[in-house]
Chain A
Amino acid sequence: MTQTELTAAADRGLGVTARRDVWWLQPLLIFIGLTTFGVYAIWAAWQGNHYLYVGHGAYYLSPFYSPDLQAIFGFHPPFSFAFLVLWIPLGFRASCYYYRKAYYRSYMLDPPACAVGEPKNRCYQGERKFPFILQNIHRYFFYLALLLLASLWYDAIRALFFRGPTGGLQLGLGVGTLVLFFNVITLTAFTFGCNSCRHLIGGQLNCFSCSCTTRTRYKLWRGVSVLNLKHMEWAWVSLFAVGFADLYIRLCAMGIWHDVRLW
Chain B
Amino acid sequence: MSSRVFKVWRGDKSGGRFVDYQVQAEEGMVVLDAIHQIQRTQAPDLACRWNCKAAKCGSCGAEVNGKPRLMCKTRLDALPPGDVVSVSPMRSFPLIRDLVTDVSWNFQVNQKIPPFTPRPDATWIMQQEDVDRVQEFRKCIECFLCQNVCHVLREHDLKQHFFGPRFFVRIASLQMHPMDGLDRMALLKDQAGLGLCNVTKCCTEVCPEEIHITDNAIIPMKERVVDRYYDPLAWLWRKIRHAP
Contacts and interface: CB of A to CB of B under 8 A. Distances in A.
Contacts of A136: 222, 225-226, 230-231
A133 B220 CA distance: 16
Given A111-B155, A111-B200, A137-B230, A19 B66 contact: yes
Interface in A111-168: 111, 114-115, 117-118, 122, 124-128, 132-133, 136-139
Nearest to B190: A128
Interface in A191-211: 195-196, 198-200, 203-204, 206-210
A110 interface: yes
A208 B127 contact: yes
A124 B205 contact: no
Interface string B132-158: 000000000000000001011011101
A3 B20 contact: yes
B7 interface: yes
A110 B198 contact: yes
Contacts of B196: 124-128
A210 B200 CA distance: 34
Contact of A111 (B19, B151, B176): B151
A206 B149 contact: no
A4 B226 contact: no
Contacts of B210: none
A118 B199 contact: no
A104 B198 CA distance: 8
B73 interface: no
A12 interface: yes
Contacts of A12: 155
A7 B215 contact: no
B151 A110 contact: yes
Given A4-B19, A228-B215, A20 B66 contact: yes
Contact of A9 (B16, B152, B176, B199): B16
Best-buried of B9, B197, B231 by chain A (most CB within 10 Å): B231
A8 B199 CA distance: 29
B166 interface: no
Main secondary structure of the interface of B (DSSP, over half): mixed
A2 interface: yes
Contacts of B126: 207, 209
Given A18-B63, A18-B65, A115 B226 contact: no
Contact of B18 (A4, A128, A231): A4
B65 A124 contact: no
Interface string B30-63: 0000000000001100000000000000000001
B86 interface: yes
A101 B88 contact: no
Contacts of A125: 196
Contacts of A200: 223
A6 interface: yes
A228 B149 CA distance: 24
A139 B231 contact: yes
A262 to B, nearest CB: 39
Given A199-B224, A206-B176, A208-B129, A115 B215 contact: no
A261 interface: no
Contacts of B156: 122, 124
A17 B66 contact: yes
B97 interface: no
A20 B79 CA distance: 11
Contacts of A117: 155
Interface of A: 1-9, 12, 17-21, 97, 100-101, 104-105, 110-111, 114-115, 117-118, 122, 124-128, 132-133, 136-139, 195-196, 198-200, 203-204, 206-210, 218, 228-229, 231
Given A9-B88, A105-B200, A196-B226, 13 more contacts: A1-B43, A4-B17, A4-B18, A9-B9, A9-B11, A20-B66, A110-B200, A111-B202, A114-B68, A114-B149, A124-B152, A127-B195, A139-B231
17 contacts: A3-B17, A9-B9, A9-B88, A17-B66, A18-B65, A18-B86, A19-B65, A20-B83, A97-B215, A105-B200, A114-B202, A124-B156, A199-B223, A206-B130, A206-B175, A208-B127, A229-B215
